[in-house]
Amino acid sequence: MSKNFSFIQPLFKPWQALTALIVVGVIVFGSGVSRSIHPNLLSIQPAIAQRITPGDVWQQVYQQLPNLPKENKYINKENGKVADNNTLISRLIRYHIYVKARSPIYRLDWKLTLADYLGANEIMYDSAYPSSDTLRENPIEGDKAAIARLNRSQRNALVQVLVNIFNPNQNTIAPTPNTSPSPTPKQPQQGGAQLLR
């Protein structure tokens, strides 16, 4: 390179490094590494996945909580029959796992999903809601109303049952109440540095 263009050489090396980083990033993300990591981070553990499929969980939920609304009177688009197995809980589970990609083994994740239904968390989109494309009527509004009719203890029971089913190895024993007498709180002493404690 001639002396006249020697000032370009130092400027060119950072661009080469940036280009190399971009190329490496495209190769890594395009190779499917992110796809192979993603399911392991957001799905059920492999041992549990072999025993539990999300499609079967809704039946276990209704066995344990028979008073939950089924919301299964919607008509199938293809055959015109009532879709009995397309229930509120089956749609809730599919929304939670497949639409929102939330873990099924944590209470907080289920509470976030219920908050979606109550309009207190993320927006639920009609077009992405489970069964919106297979039923004549999109069940989203009916499902939101059904969840809103549940009281807090019913919602907590639903969350606990879902977590217990998806994560049977979790310690679900309730803590025993503390039977020892509680210590008597000390009365604050008046004056000086004691007020700052």
C-alpha span between 50 and 192 (Å, rounded): 65
State residue 84's pLDDT score: 94
Q: Is residue 193 included in any domain, yes or no?
A: no
Q: Is residue 135 included in any domain, yes or no?
A: yes
- Per residue in 148-158, pLDDT (tens digit) is 999 999 999 99
Q: Is residue 186 included in any domain, yes or no?
A: no
Name the phi and psi angles at 145, rounded to 5.
-65, -40
For residue 182, pLDDT over 70 is answered with no
For residue 139, pLDDT over 80 is answered with yes
**Confidence bin at 195 (pLDDT 50/70/90):** very low
State residue 36's pLDDT score: 42
State residue 177's pLDDT score: 37
Q: Is residue 187 included in any domain, yes or no?
A: no
State residue 42's pLDDT score: 43
Measured over the CA atoms of residue 96, residue 100, residue 105 and residue 108, the dihedral's sign is negative
Q: Is residue 47 included in any domain, yes or no?
A: yes
Nearby residues of 88 by Cβ (< 8 Å), 6 or more positions away: 68, 69, 70, 71, 72, 139, 143, 146, 147
- Per residue in 22-40, pLDDT (tens digit) is 655 555 555 554 444 444 4
Q: Is residue 197 included in any domain, yes or no?
A: no
State residue 14's pLDDT score: 57
Q: Is residue 173 included in any domain, yes or no?
A: no
User: Residue 63: which domain range?
Assistant: 21-166
Q: Is residue 171 included in any domain, yes or no?
A: no
pTM of the predicted model, to two decimals?
Answer: 0.63
Would you call 49 exposed, middle or buried from its count of C-beta atoms within 10 A (0-12, 13-18, 19+)? middle
| Section 101-121 average pLDDT | 97
Measured over the CA atoms of residue 140, residue 141, residue 144 and residue 149, the dihedral's sign is negative
3-state DSSP assignment of residue 185: coil
State residue 168's pLDDT score: 87
| Section 88-117 average pLDDT | 97
Length of the chain (residues)? 197
**Confidence bin at 133 (pLDDT 50/70/90):** very high
- By C-alpha distance, which of 161, 135, 150 is closest to 61? 161
| Section 168-176 average pLDDT | 57
Q: Please identify which residue in the block is written with the tokens 């499917």.
A: 32
| Section 130-136 average pLDDT | 97
State residue 55's pLDDT score: 79
Q: What is the mean pLDDT of the chain?
A: 77
Name the phi and psi angles at 135, rounded to 5.
-105, 150
Q: What percent of the chain has pLDDT over 90?
A: 56
**Confidence bin at 175 (pLDDT 50/70/90):** very low
Domain count, the chain: 1
102: its two tokens: 């939330």
C-alpha span between 157 and 61 (Å, rounded): 10
